[in-house]
């Protein structure tokens, strides 16, 4: 080789190495590293989400709201007192002097009302029907609906339905909490996958860059052709592009996970910069601990959707009884024993005291001829009950099917994980062997990069399977109407 040709060769080699070194050094300086990482586990997130999440706090208000409605319905049984007074005096003549007062105590039994009243109606121009002696009249009696309203009336129906809705609200609360935890779990395992993907690609960048530095020295010493350093530089740049993409994905999944994090004062929190997800260990016997048949049985008894439908059925049963009661004629009987006494200790002749001959009684009867409104409402309730029965059957079957489907997915992911773990182990052996061959000059840089890229892809695929397994596990519990419970956390 001539001196001129040799000089051009080394100038070209130096230019390639210098350009690649400068570009890769700038790229390498952007790597994300953190030596003070702290594990943020599912246990830690459970403590934060179930204690501070606004939707969880909002769900707790559902039961309180339902209990408040029970109190409102109980108000229909509150005793009430009313009184009225009117008087007319003109030209020295007292035309009338009216005082009417009554204490009304609603009773649960037979829809009756206990009435205690005192009337004093005197004056020159009083209605003889209501006129009393100057001392007035005291009445003690009952008002009983012997027809419509005897077995159940509006106030008893409202109270019973409001008590049923307490259980309905409790089921809805559980459903909302389960939904929040389910979505938070999926966000967590998406973050886990993005983090693992970033770690593996970043390791690949570091390995490629380290190999490039070694090849650069060999090229400068004349042991390797310059084209090898260019190929090594291209590999670093290609993996760096992948790293940039995975970095963006990791940042986005961190933001989505942070949506579930709130402090005790209701202020949104961000996932700490040094937080990393928990390790990827999955117990090999985890499926045997799930107790599928037992969980299906529990879901049939306690799934929030089924509980809500059953409570709706109980509510419709109460409403149906009430509507059947409305088909009866209205027959209200009111009776009171009368006395001229004003208090318990005053002397009153027996003739004017509470005795059987001293009474006031009244009967009201009302009965529509066709009862079309009542019959139409009853038919509507019956149709709603039939619809609810169909809905309950279909929902129960869908829940059972979803549980078995999730379990099948778990088995599939577990088998895939075992195979993929073995594939990763074998690929590591293959990469290690290829590196040894390359050291002895029996392999090429292209083969090493190819084996190494394949290993990174396999590791990322394994992380994806773990993420999918954990999300399917969360789906499995969610479909069963419950959630996975973790022990106390230790994240600070």
Does the pLDDT at position 155 exceed 90?
A: yes
pLDDT of residue 136: 85
| Cα-based angle 132, 137, 140 (whole degrees, multiple of 5) | 145
Would residue 125 count as lying in a domain? no
pLDDT band at 354 (very low <50, low <70, confident <90, very high): confident
Would residue 149 count as lying in a domain? no
Helix (H, G, I), strand (E, B) or coil at 41: coil
Buried b (16+ CB within 10 A) or exposed e, 37-64: eeebbbbbbbbbbeebbebbeebeebbe
Nearest to 260 by CA among 176, 181, 194: 181
In angstroms, the CA 263 to CA 271 distance is 12
Could you identify the residue written with the tokens 């909002």?
A: 58
In angstroms, the CA 313 to CA 309 distance is 6
Residue 121 pairs in a beta bridge with 98
Nearest to 194 by CA among 260, 242, 261: 242
pLDDT of residue 492: 35
- Provide, rounded to the nearest whole percent, the portion of the chain with pLDDT above 90: 58
> For the segment 66-109, what is each residue's pLDDT rounded down to a tens digit?
999 999 999 999 999 999 999 999 888 888 899 999 999 999 88
Does the pLDDT at position 19 exceed 70?
A: no
E-state strands within 123-233: 137-145
Q: Which helix (DSSP H) or strand (DSSP E) does residue 172 occupy?
A: helix 154-221
User: How many CB atoms within 10 Å of residue 459?
Assistant: 22
Does the pLDDT at position 464 exceed 90?
A: yes
- Count the residues in the chain: 492
> For the segment 305-330, what is each residue's pLDDT rounded down to a tens digit?
999 999 999 999 999 999 999 999 99
pLDDT of residue 290: 79
pLDDT band at 357 (very low <50, low <70, confident <90, very high): confident
Q: Decide: 360 and 339 in contact? Cβ < 8 Å.
A: no
In angstroms, the CA 19 to CA 233 distance is 10
Helix (H, G, I), strand (E, B) or coil at 88: strand
Rounded average pLDDT over 23-29: 46
Q: Decide: 159 and 74 in contact? Cβ < 8 Å.
A: yes
pLDDT band at 491 (very low <50, low <70, confident <90, very high): very low
3-state helix, strand, coil in the chain (%, to 5): 60, 15, 25
In angstroms, the CA 39 to CA 276 distance is 5
> For the segment 267-297, what is each residue's pLDDT rounded down to a tens digit?
999 998 889 998 877 777 788 777 888 889 8
Would residue 437 count as lying in a domain? yes
Could you identify the residue written with the tokens 């609810």?
A: 388
Cα dist. 335→153, 340, 344, 365, 379 in Å?
A: 20, 17, 21, 15, 36
Strands 359-366 and 330-339: antiparallel
Return the higher-pLDDT residue of 95 and 491: 95
Most confident of the ranges 5-14, 23-32, 438-447: 438-447
pLDDT of residue 407: 93
Q: Decide: 189 and 471 in contact? Cβ < 8 Å.
A: yes
> For the segment 138-151, what is each residue's pLDDT rounded down to a tens digit?
889 999 999 999 99
Q: Cβ contacts of residue 274 below 8 Å, gap of 6+?
A: 34, 36, 37, 38
Would residue 368 count as lying in a domain? no
- Number of domains into which the chain is organized: 1
User: How many CB atoms within 10 Å of residue 106?
Assistant: 17
Q: Decide: 94 and 88 in contact? Cβ < 8 Å.
A: yes
Q: Decide: 182 and 268 in contact? Cβ < 8 Å.
A: no
Rounded average pLDDT over 354-379: 89
* Residue range(s) defining the domain that contains residue 459: 3-69+157-315+385-479
In angstroms, the CA 86 to CA 119 distance is 12
Would residue 55 count as lying in a domain? yes
Indicate the range of 103-107, 358-362, 400-404 predicted with least confidence: 358-362
Q: Decide: 1 and 10 in contact? Cβ < 8 Å.
A: no
Would residue 357 count as lying in a domain? no
What CATH number has the domain bearing residue 213?
1.20.1600.10
Would residue 377 count as lying in a domain? no
Q: Which helix (DSSP H) or strand (DSSP E) does residue 186 occupy?
A: helix 154-221
Does the pLDDT at position 33 exceed 50?
A: no
In angstroms, the CA 333 to CA 361 distance is 7
In angstroms, the CA 134 to CA 340 distance is 9
pLDDT of residue 11: 40
Would residue 290 count as lying in a domain? yes
């Amino acid at each position: 080789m001539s001196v001129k040709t040799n000089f051009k060769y080394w100038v070209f080699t130096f230019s390639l190495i210098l350009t690649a070194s400068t570009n890769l050094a700038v790229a390498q300086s952007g790597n994300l590293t953190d030596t003070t990482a702290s594990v943020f586990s599912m246990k830690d997130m459970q403590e934060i989400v179930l204690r501070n999440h606004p939707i969880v706090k909002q769900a707790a208000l559902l039961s309180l709201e339902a209990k408040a409605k029970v109190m409102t319905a109980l108000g229909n049984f509150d005793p009430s007192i009313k009184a009225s007074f009117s008087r007319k005096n003109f030209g020295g003549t007292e035309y009338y002097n009216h005082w009417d007062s009554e204490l009304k105590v609603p009773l649960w039994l037979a829809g009756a009302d206990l009435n205690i009243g005192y009337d004093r109606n005197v004056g020159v121009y009083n209605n003889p029907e209501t006129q009393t002696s100057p001392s007035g009249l005291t009445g003690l009696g009952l008002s009983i609906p012997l027809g419509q309203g005897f077995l159940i009336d509006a106030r008893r129906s409202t109270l019973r339905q409001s008590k049923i809705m307490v259980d309905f609200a409790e089921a809805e609360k559980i459903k909302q909490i389960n939904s929040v935890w389910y979505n938070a779990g999926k966000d967590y395992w998406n973050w886990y996958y993005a983090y693992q993907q970033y770690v593996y690609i970043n390791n690949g960048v570091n390995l490629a860059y380290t190999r490039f530095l070694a090849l650069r020295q060999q090229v400068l010493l004349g042991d390797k052709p310059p084209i090898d350093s260019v190929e090594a530089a291209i590999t670093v740049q290609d993996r760096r592009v992948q790293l940039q993409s995975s970095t963006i994905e990791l940042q986005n999944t961190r933001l989505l996970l942070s949506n579930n994090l709130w402090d005790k004062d209701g202020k949104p929190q961000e996932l700490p910069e040094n937080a990393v997800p928990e390790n990827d260990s999955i117990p090999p016997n985890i499926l045997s601990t799930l107790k599928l048949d037992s969980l299906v049985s529990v879901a049939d008894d306690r799934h929030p959707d089924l509980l809500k439908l059953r409570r709706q059925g109980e509510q419709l049963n109460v409403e149906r009884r009430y509507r059947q009661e409305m088909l009866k004629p209205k027959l209200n009987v009111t009776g009171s024993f009368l006395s001229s006494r004003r208090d318990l200790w005053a002397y009153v002749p027996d003739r004017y005291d509470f005795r059987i001959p001293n009474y006031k009684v009244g009967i009201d009867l009302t009965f529509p001829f066709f009862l079309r409104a009542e019959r139409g409402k009853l038919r509507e309730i019956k149709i709603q009950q039939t619809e609810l029965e169909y809905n309950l059957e279909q929902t129960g079957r869908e829940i059972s099917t979803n549980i078995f489907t999730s379990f099948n997915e778990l088995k599939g992911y577990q088998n895939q994980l075992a195979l993929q773990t073995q594939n990763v182990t074998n690929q590591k052996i293959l990469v290690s062997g290829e590196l040894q061959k390359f050291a002895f000059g029996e392999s090429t840089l292209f083969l090493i990069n190819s084996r190494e890229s394949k290993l990174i892809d396999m590791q990322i695929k394994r992380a994806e399977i773990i993420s999918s397994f954990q999300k399917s596990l969360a789906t499995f519990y969610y479909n069963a109407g419950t959630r996975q419970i973790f022990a106390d956390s230790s994240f600070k």
